[in-house]
Structure 1
Amino acid sequence: PGDSIREIDWLSTLLLRGETLGGAMPLKRVPTSEYEGYDVRLWQPRMEIYLDVSGSMPDPRRALNAMTLAAQILSLGATRAGGWVRAALYSSEPVVYWQWCRSETEISRFLMHYIGGGTSYPFRLLSRSIADCGTDQPIRVVITDRDFDVNYGFEPENAGIFREAAERSPHFILLLHCPDPERVRHYRSQGAKVVEVPDLSDFPRLTAELTLALFPVDLRDCNGSV
Protein backbone atom coordinates (compact mmCIF):
# COMPACT_ATOMS: atom_id res chain seq x y z
CA PRO A 1 0.00 0.00 0.00
CA GLY A 2 1.26 3.43 -0.92
CA ASP A 3 3.72 2.12 -3.51
CA SER A 4 3.49 3.40 -7.05
CA ILE A 5 2.21 0.64 -9.33
CA ARG A 6 4.80 1.62 -11.91
CA GLU A 7 7.61 0.92 -9.41
CA ILE A 8 6.49 -2.64 -8.59
CA ASP A 9 8.34 -5.52 -10.24
CA TRP A 10 5.38 -7.84 -10.72
CA LEU A 11 7.32 -10.74 -12.22
CA SER A 12 9.88 -10.91 -9.40
CA THR A 13 7.10 -10.46 -6.83
CA LEU A 14 5.16 -13.47 -8.13
CA LEU A 15 8.24 -15.67 -8.56
CA LEU A 16 9.86 -14.93 -5.20
CA ARG A 17 6.91 -14.19 -2.91
CA GLY A 18 3.89 -15.78 -4.53
CA GLU A 19 0.38 -14.38 -4.91
CA THR A 20 -0.50 -14.16 -1.21
CA LEU A 21 2.68 -12.67 0.25
CA GLY A 22 3.40 -10.71 -2.92
CA GLY A 23 0.13 -8.84 -2.65
CA ALA A 24 1.06 -7.62 0.83
CA MET A 25 4.80 -7.14 0.27
CA PRO A 26 5.50 -6.41 -3.41
CA LEU A 27 9.05 -6.01 -4.65
CA LYS A 28 9.96 -2.66 -6.16
CA ARG A 29 12.25 -2.04 -9.09
CA VAL A 30 15.62 -0.58 -8.16
CA PRO A 31 16.83 1.53 -11.07
CA THR A 32 20.53 1.53 -11.78
CA SER A 33 22.39 4.07 -13.85
CA GLU A 34 25.02 3.39 -16.47
CA TYR A 35 27.41 5.71 -14.63
CA GLU A 36 27.91 5.92 -10.89
CA GLY A 37 25.81 8.71 -9.39
CA TYR A 38 24.29 9.77 -12.74
CA ASP A 39 20.68 9.54 -11.53
CA VAL A 40 21.32 11.36 -8.25
CA ARG A 41 21.00 15.13 -8.40
CA LEU A 42 23.92 16.88 -6.78
CA TRP A 43 21.67 19.74 -5.66
CA GLN A 44 18.39 18.87 -3.97
CA PRO A 45 16.82 22.21 -3.05
CA ARG A 46 14.44 22.96 -0.21
CA MET A 47 11.87 25.72 -0.50
CA GLU A 48 9.75 27.31 2.21
CA ILE A 49 6.69 29.17 0.88
CA TYR A 50 4.72 31.79 2.81
CA LEU A 51 1.41 32.43 1.03
CA ASP A 52 -0.91 35.32 1.89
CA VAL A 53 -4.48 33.95 1.85
CA SER A 54 -6.21 36.93 3.41
CA GLY A 55 -9.54 38.35 2.34
CA SER A 56 -8.04 40.56 -0.36
CA MET A 57 -7.79 37.50 -2.61
CA PRO A 58 -10.58 35.05 -3.59
CA ASP A 59 -10.97 31.46 -2.41
CA PRO A 60 -8.91 29.48 -4.98
CA ARG A 61 -11.47 26.67 -4.90
CA ARG A 62 -14.10 29.00 -6.33
CA ALA A 63 -12.18 31.53 -8.43
CA LEU A 64 -8.74 32.14 -9.86
CA ASN A 65 -6.34 33.24 -7.13
CA ALA A 66 -3.16 34.54 -8.74
CA MET A 67 -1.11 34.27 -5.54
CA THR A 68 -2.11 30.66 -4.98
CA LEU A 69 -1.25 29.91 -8.61
CA ALA A 70 2.18 31.45 -8.04
CA ALA A 71 2.74 29.18 -5.03
CA GLN A 72 1.68 26.15 -7.08
CA ILE A 73 4.18 27.01 -9.83
CA LEU A 74 7.03 27.42 -7.35
CA SER A 75 6.27 24.21 -5.47
CA LEU A 76 6.04 22.26 -8.73
CA GLY A 77 9.39 23.65 -9.86
CA ALA A 78 11.06 22.69 -6.60
CA THR A 79 9.71 19.13 -6.47
CA ARG A 80 10.47 18.46 -10.13
CA ALA A 81 14.01 19.68 -9.52
CA GLY A 82 14.30 16.85 -6.99
CA GLY A 83 13.73 19.05 -3.97
CA TRP A 84 11.42 19.41 -0.99
CA VAL A 85 8.76 21.99 -0.16
CA ARG A 86 6.91 23.09 2.93
CA ALA A 87 4.44 25.94 3.23
CA ALA A 88 2.61 28.30 5.55
CA LEU A 89 -0.71 29.86 4.59
CA TYR A 90 -1.36 32.97 6.61
CA SER A 91 -4.06 35.49 7.31
CA SER A 92 -4.56 36.36 10.97
CA GLU A 93 -2.90 33.07 12.05
CA PRO A 94 -0.77 30.72 9.94
CA VAL A 95 -1.84 27.24 8.88
CA VAL A 96 1.19 25.14 8.08
CA TYR A 97 2.29 22.04 6.20
CA TRP A 98 5.65 22.01 7.91
CA GLN A 99 7.16 18.61 7.17
CA TRP A 100 9.36 18.60 4.10
CA CYS A 101 7.34 17.22 1.21
CA ARG A 102 8.31 15.83 -2.20
CA SER A 103 4.78 14.94 -3.28
CA GLU A 104 3.42 17.33 -5.90
CA THR A 105 -0.11 16.19 -5.11
CA GLU A 106 0.08 16.65 -1.33
CA ILE A 107 1.59 20.12 -1.37
CA SER A 108 -0.71 21.21 -4.19
CA ARG A 109 -3.78 20.18 -2.20
CA PHE A 110 -2.55 22.04 0.85
CA LEU A 111 -1.94 25.23 -1.11
CA MET A 112 -5.58 25.23 -2.25
CA HIS A 113 -6.79 25.95 1.29
CA TYR A 114 -8.12 29.40 2.12
CA ILE A 115 -8.51 31.44 5.30
CA GLY A 116 -9.69 34.96 4.44
CA GLY A 117 -9.81 37.85 6.91
CA GLY A 118 -6.98 40.19 7.88
CA THR A 119 -3.29 39.88 7.10
CA SER A 120 -0.56 39.16 9.63
CA TYR A 121 2.72 37.77 8.34
CA PRO A 122 4.06 35.08 10.76
CA PHE A 123 7.42 36.59 11.70
CA ARG A 124 7.69 34.34 14.76
CA LEU A 125 7.29 31.26 12.58
CA LEU A 126 10.03 32.59 10.29
CA SER A 127 12.29 33.16 13.30
CA ARG A 128 11.74 29.60 14.57
CA SER A 129 12.42 28.23 11.10
CA ILE A 130 15.75 30.06 10.90
CA ALA A 131 16.76 28.68 14.30
CA ASP A 132 15.61 25.13 13.54
CA CYS A 133 17.27 24.91 10.12
CA GLY A 134 20.70 25.81 11.47
CA THR A 135 23.34 25.52 8.75
CA ASP A 136 20.90 24.05 6.22
CA GLN A 137 18.65 27.01 5.44
CA PRO A 138 16.03 26.68 2.66
CA ILE A 139 15.10 29.05 -0.12
CA ARG A 140 12.28 31.21 1.26
CA VAL A 141 9.58 32.90 -0.80
CA VAL A 142 6.87 35.24 0.49
CA ILE A 143 3.87 35.81 -1.79
CA THR A 144 1.86 38.84 -0.72
CA ASP A 145 0.96 42.49 -1.39
CA ARG A 146 1.34 45.90 0.30
CA ASP A 147 -0.18 44.54 3.51
CA PHE A 148 3.27 43.13 4.20
CA ASP A 149 4.55 46.68 4.76
CA VAL A 150 2.20 47.11 7.72
CA ASN A 151 3.14 43.69 9.13
CA TYR A 152 6.85 44.51 8.82
CA GLY A 153 6.53 47.59 10.99
CA PHE A 154 4.02 46.21 13.48
CA GLU A 155 6.55 44.81 15.98
CA PRO A 156 10.05 46.25 16.60
CA GLU A 157 11.72 42.83 16.29
CA ASN A 158 10.24 42.09 12.84
CA ALA A 159 12.91 44.08 11.00
CA GLY A 160 15.67 42.05 12.66
CA ILE A 161 13.98 38.74 11.83
CA PHE A 162 13.58 39.87 8.22
CA ARG A 163 17.24 40.87 7.98
CA GLU A 164 18.41 37.57 9.45
CA ALA A 165 16.26 35.62 6.99
CA ALA A 166 17.73 37.61 4.11
CA GLU A 167 21.28 37.05 5.36
CA ARG A 168 21.01 33.33 6.09
CA SER A 169 18.67 32.02 3.39
CA PRO A 170 20.22 30.99 0.03
CA HIS A 171 17.50 33.22 -1.42
CA PHE A 172 14.92 35.25 0.49
CA ILE A 173 12.42 36.41 -2.11
CA LEU A 174 9.36 38.64 -1.90
CA LEU A 175 6.78 38.35 -4.66
CA LEU A 176 4.96 41.64 -4.06
CA HIS A 177 1.79 42.72 -5.81
CA CYS A 178 1.66 46.45 -6.60
CA PRO A 179 4.48 47.33 -4.18
CA ASP A 180 5.47 50.72 -2.83
CA PRO A 181 8.77 51.63 -4.58
CA GLU A 182 10.23 53.06 -1.38
CA ARG A 183 9.51 49.84 0.51
CA VAL A 184 10.99 47.79 -2.31
CA ARG A 185 14.24 49.74 -2.02
CA HIS A 186 14.26 49.20 1.74
CA TYR A 187 13.67 45.44 1.52
CA ARG A 188 16.44 45.14 -1.04
CA SER A 189 18.78 47.14 1.17
CA GLN A 190 18.17 44.52 3.88
CA GLY A 191 19.31 41.75 1.54
CA ALA A 192 15.99 40.45 0.20
CA LYS A 193 15.28 39.86 -3.47
CA VAL A 194 12.04 41.55 -4.54
CA VAL A 195 10.01 40.57 -7.59
CA GLU A 196 7.62 43.41 -8.33
CA VAL A 197 4.24 42.22 -9.67
CA PRO A 198 2.44 45.25 -11.17
CA ASP A 199 -0.82 43.43 -11.90
CA LEU A 200 -2.35 40.20 -10.62
CA SER A 201 -2.32 38.86 -14.18
CA ASP A 202 1.49 39.15 -14.12
CA PHE A 203 1.89 36.60 -11.31
CA PRO A 204 1.99 33.44 -13.49
CA ARG A 205 4.57 34.80 -15.95
CA LEU A 206 6.86 36.37 -13.35
CA THR A 207 6.63 33.33 -11.09
CA ALA A 208 7.44 31.00 -13.99
CA GLU A 209 10.49 33.13 -14.82
CA LEU A 210 11.57 33.05 -11.16
CA THR A 211 11.10 29.28 -11.01
CA LEU A 212 13.22 28.73 -14.11
CA ALA A 213 15.91 30.98 -12.66
CA LEU A 214 15.96 29.01 -9.40
CA PHE A 215 15.61 25.55 -10.97
CA PRO A 216 17.00 25.56 -14.54
CA VAL A 217 15.51 22.89 -16.77
CA ASP A 218 17.86 20.00 -17.48
CA LEU A 219 17.20 18.88 -21.06
CA ARG A 220 18.08 15.31 -20.09
CA ASP A 221 14.86 15.28 -18.02
CA CYS A 222 12.67 16.16 -21.01
CA ASN A 223 11.03 13.35 -22.98
CA GLY A 224 8.94 15.42 -25.36
CA SER A 225 5.81 15.42 -23.19
CA VAL A 226 4.30 18.28 -21.24
Structure 2
Amino acid sequence: MYNSVSEKDWVEAAHPVSQNVRSDIAGAGCDKPYFEPLIPEERPDIDSPYFVYFGRIHEDKGCKTLIEYFKHFKQKSSNKVKLVLIGKNFMNEVDTSDDIIYTGFISDQKKSFYLQNSIGLIIPSPYESLSMVTLEAMIEGKPVLVNGYCDMLKKHIELSHAGYAYFNKEEFCDSLNKLFTMTEKEKAIMSKNGIAYIEANYNWKVIIDKYKYVIENITKP
Protein backbone atom coordinates (compact mmCIF):
# COMPACT_ATOMS: atom_id res chain seq x y z
CA MET A 1 0.00 0.00 0.00
CA TYR A 2 1.70 3.13 -1.25
CA ASN A 3 1.39 6.79 -0.32
CA SER A 4 1.44 7.96 -3.93
CA VAL A 5 1.92 6.91 -7.55
CA SER A 6 5.48 8.26 -7.43
CA GLU A 7 6.31 6.14 -4.38
CA LYS A 8 4.97 3.03 -6.12
CA ASP A 9 6.99 3.75 -9.27
CA TRP A 10 10.16 4.41 -7.25
CA VAL A 11 9.89 1.26 -5.09
CA GLU A 12 9.02 -1.04 -7.97
CA ALA A 13 11.80 0.38 -10.15
CA ALA A 14 14.30 -0.48 -7.39
CA HIS A 15 12.65 -3.80 -6.50
CA PRO A 16 10.79 -5.24 -9.52
CA VAL A 17 7.80 -7.32 -8.51
CA SER A 18 5.65 -9.86 -10.27
CA GLN A 19 2.49 -8.63 -11.96
CA ASN A 20 0.64 -11.01 -9.64
CA VAL A 21 1.62 -8.99 -6.57
CA ARG A 22 -1.34 -6.86 -5.55
CA SER A 23 -0.80 -3.21 -4.63
CA ASP A 24 -2.74 0.03 -4.39
CA ILE A 25 -2.31 3.73 -3.64
CA ALA A 26 -3.60 4.51 -0.16
CA GLY A 27 -1.79 7.43 1.45
CA ALA A 28 -3.77 9.16 4.17
CA GLY A 29 -7.23 10.61 4.37
CA CYS A 30 -7.86 14.33 4.04
CA ASP A 31 -11.19 15.78 5.11
CA LYS A 32 -12.06 19.44 4.83
CA PRO A 33 -11.60 20.83 8.35
CA TYR A 34 -14.03 23.10 10.09
CA PHE A 35 -13.05 25.84 12.50
CA GLU A 36 -15.15 28.50 14.15
CA PRO A 37 -14.68 31.76 12.21
CA LEU A 38 -12.21 34.18 13.74
CA ILE A 39 -13.76 37.22 15.34
CA PRO A 40 -12.68 40.47 13.62
CA GLU A 41 -10.18 41.32 16.39
CA GLU A 42 -8.37 37.99 15.87
CA ARG A 43 -8.09 38.17 12.08
CA PRO A 44 -4.58 38.70 10.66
CA ASP A 45 -3.93 42.29 9.64
CA ILE A 46 -3.17 41.75 5.97
CA ASP A 47 -4.96 43.64 3.23
CA SER A 48 -2.87 42.59 0.21
CA PRO A 49 -3.20 39.46 -1.94
CA TYR A 50 -0.73 36.81 -0.83
CA PHE A 51 0.66 33.31 -1.29
CA VAL A 52 1.23 31.15 1.75
CA TYR A 53 3.77 28.55 2.88
CA PHE A 54 3.11 26.15 5.78
CA GLY A 55 5.69 24.04 7.55
CA ARG A 56 9.16 24.19 9.03
CA ILE A 57 11.07 27.28 7.89
CA HIS A 58 14.18 25.33 6.93
CA GLU A 59 16.72 25.40 4.12
CA ASP A 60 16.20 21.66 3.56
CA LYS A 61 12.53 22.43 2.90
CA GLY A 62 13.51 24.83 0.13
CA CYS A 63 12.66 27.96 2.13
CA LYS A 64 15.91 29.80 1.40
CA THR A 65 15.36 29.32 -2.33
CA LEU A 66 11.68 30.23 -1.96
CA ILE A 67 12.59 33.58 -0.42
CA GLU A 68 15.22 34.21 -3.10
CA TYR A 69 12.77 33.38 -5.90
CA PHE A 70 9.99 35.47 -4.41
CA LYS A 71 12.27 38.51 -4.07
CA HIS A 72 13.15 38.07 -7.75
CA PHE A 73 9.43 37.91 -8.58
CA LYS A 74 8.83 41.18 -6.73
CA GLN A 75 11.71 42.86 -8.55
CA LYS A 76 10.13 41.94 -11.88
CA SER A 77 6.60 43.06 -11.07
CA SER A 78 4.85 46.05 -9.55
CA ASN A 79 1.96 44.16 -7.93
CA LYS A 80 1.20 44.15 -4.20
CA VAL A 81 1.44 40.37 -3.75
CA LYS A 82 3.04 39.18 -0.52
CA LEU A 83 4.44 35.89 0.78
CA VAL A 84 3.34 34.64 4.20
CA LEU A 85 5.60 32.07 5.90
CA ILE A 86 3.84 30.11 8.63
CA GLY A 87 5.77 27.74 10.88
CA LYS A 88 8.68 27.43 13.27
CA ASN A 89 11.93 28.99 12.08
CA PHE A 90 14.92 26.63 11.78
CA MET A 91 17.07 28.98 9.70
CA ASN A 92 19.59 31.38 11.21
CA GLU A 93 17.84 34.29 9.59
CA VAL A 94 14.46 34.79 7.94
CA ASP A 95 14.59 37.57 5.37
CA THR A 96 11.44 39.46 6.25
CA SER A 97 10.32 42.65 4.55
CA ASP A 98 7.13 44.46 3.64
CA ASP A 99 6.57 41.73 1.04
CA ILE A 100 7.60 38.69 3.11
CA ILE A 101 5.70 38.11 6.35
CA TYR A 102 6.79 35.57 8.97
CA THR A 103 4.07 34.64 11.47
CA GLY A 104 5.85 31.97 13.50
CA PHE A 105 3.78 29.15 14.96
CA ILE A 106 0.05 29.95 14.96
CA SER A 107 -3.18 28.14 15.78
CA ASP A 108 -4.84 25.81 13.28
CA GLN A 109 -7.75 28.24 13.21
CA LYS A 110 -5.54 31.11 12.03
CA LYS A 111 -3.67 28.82 9.66
CA SER A 112 -6.98 27.87 8.07
CA PHE A 113 -7.91 31.55 7.76
CA TYR A 114 -4.65 32.34 5.98
CA LEU A 115 -5.13 29.43 3.56
CA GLN A 116 -8.75 30.18 2.76
CA ASN A 117 -7.97 33.81 1.97
CA SER A 118 -4.76 33.23 0.02
CA ILE A 119 -4.17 33.10 -3.72
CA GLY A 120 -2.63 29.68 -3.24
CA LEU A 121 -0.06 27.51 -1.47
CA ILE A 122 3.63 27.24 -2.39
CA ILE A 123 5.57 24.03 -1.60
CA PRO A 124 9.30 24.56 -2.40
CA SER A 125 10.50 21.31 -0.81
CA PRO A 126 12.52 18.95 -3.04
CA TYR A 127 11.78 15.99 -0.73
CA GLU A 128 8.25 14.90 0.17
CA SER A 129 6.58 11.51 0.51
CA LEU A 130 2.93 12.67 0.45
CA SER A 131 2.65 16.34 1.54
CA MET A 132 -0.49 16.66 3.64
CA VAL A 133 -0.41 20.45 3.26
CA THR A 134 -0.81 20.00 -0.50
CA LEU A 135 -3.87 17.84 0.06
CA GLU A 136 -5.24 20.30 2.63
CA ALA A 137 -4.92 23.17 0.15
CA MET A 138 -6.60 21.24 -2.64
CA ILE A 139 -9.56 20.15 -0.49
CA GLU A 140 -10.04 23.86 0.30
CA GLY A 141 -10.09 24.55 -3.44
CA LYS A 142 -6.78 26.41 -3.44
CA PRO A 143 -4.18 25.98 -6.23
CA VAL A 144 -0.70 24.74 -5.35
CA LEU A 145 2.67 25.73 -6.79
CA VAL A 146 5.29 23.02 -6.24
CA ASN A 147 8.97 22.31 -6.75
CA GLY A 148 9.05 20.23 -9.94
CA TYR A 149 12.20 18.42 -8.81
CA CYS A 150 10.09 16.62 -6.20
CA ASP A 151 8.52 13.92 -8.36
CA MET A 152 5.74 13.19 -5.89
CA LEU A 153 4.62 16.83 -5.77
CA LYS A 154 4.88 17.15 -9.55
CA LYS A 155 2.73 14.02 -9.92
CA HIS A 156 0.05 15.54 -7.66
CA ILE A 157 -0.10 18.51 -10.04
CA GLU A 158 -0.11 16.40 -13.20
CA LEU A 159 -2.91 14.17 -11.94
CA SER A 160 -5.05 16.89 -10.38
CA HIS A 161 -4.57 19.85 -12.78
CA ALA A 162 -4.86 21.99 -9.65
CA GLY A 163 -1.68 24.04 -9.84
CA TYR A 164 1.74 24.33 -11.43
CA ALA A 165 5.24 22.91 -11.02
CA TYR A 166 8.41 24.96 -11.51
CA PHE A 167 12.02 23.98 -12.17
CA ASN A 168 13.79 27.34 -12.01
CA LYS A 169 13.45 30.97 -10.96
CA GLU A 170 11.77 32.14 -14.17
CA GLU A 171 9.21 29.32 -14.18
CA PHE A 172 8.47 30.15 -10.55
CA CYS A 173 7.77 33.79 -11.45
CA ASP A 174 5.70 32.85 -14.50
CA SER A 175 3.59 30.46 -12.42
CA LEU A 176 2.98 33.08 -9.73
CA ASN A 177 1.83 35.51 -12.41
CA LYS A 178 -0.53 32.91 -13.88
CA LEU A 179 -2.09 32.21 -10.50
CA PHE A 180 -2.32 35.90 -9.62
CA THR A 181 -3.99 36.90 -12.89
CA MET A 182 -6.42 33.98 -13.26
CA THR A 183 -9.98 34.84 -14.15
CA GLU A 184 -12.81 33.83 -11.81
CA LYS A 185 -13.73 31.07 -14.26
CA GLU A 186 -10.15 29.73 -14.30
CA LYS A 187 -10.03 29.84 -10.50
CA ALA A 188 -13.29 27.88 -10.29
CA ILE A 189 -12.02 25.20 -12.68
CA MET A 190 -8.72 24.75 -10.83
CA SER A 191 -10.54 24.70 -7.49
CA LYS A 192 -12.96 22.04 -8.74
CA ASN A 193 -10.04 19.97 -10.08
CA GLY A 194 -8.27 19.94 -6.72
CA ILE A 195 -11.36 19.04 -4.72
CA ALA A 196 -12.26 16.24 -7.15
CA TYR A 197 -8.71 14.84 -6.97
CA ILE A 198 -8.77 14.64 -3.17
CA GLU A 199 -12.27 13.17 -3.01
CA ALA A 200 -11.35 10.48 -5.56
CA ASN A 201 -7.99 9.54 -4.03
CA TYR A 202 -7.59 10.78 -0.45
CA ASN A 203 -11.09 10.70 0.97
CA TRP A 204 -11.11 8.65 4.20
CA LYS A 205 -13.88 6.37 2.97
CA VAL A 206 -11.96 5.58 -0.22
CA ILE A 207 -8.81 4.76 1.75
CA ILE A 208 -10.56 2.66 4.39
CA ASP A 209 -12.36 0.68 1.68
CA LYS A 210 -8.99 -0.06 0.06
CA TYR A 211 -7.54 -1.38 3.32
CA LYS A 212 -10.67 -3.42 4.05
CA TYR A 213 -10.37 -5.03 0.63
CA VAL A 214 -6.69 -5.86 1.22
CA ILE A 215 -7.35 -7.34 4.67
CA GLU A 216 -10.32 -9.38 3.47
CA ASN A 217 -8.36 -10.77 0.51
CA ILE A 218 -4.88 -11.09 1.99
CA THR A 219 -4.99 -14.90 2.21
CA LYS A 220 -6.51 -15.42 -1.23
CA PRO A 221 -4.20 -16.52 -4.03
TM-score band by shorter chain is 0.3 to 0.5
Which is greater in Rg?
1
TM-score (norm 2): 0.41
Structure that is richer in strand per residue:
1
Which of the pair has the greater relative contact order for Cα pairs under 8 Å at 6+ separation?
Answer: 2
TM-score (norm 1): 0.40
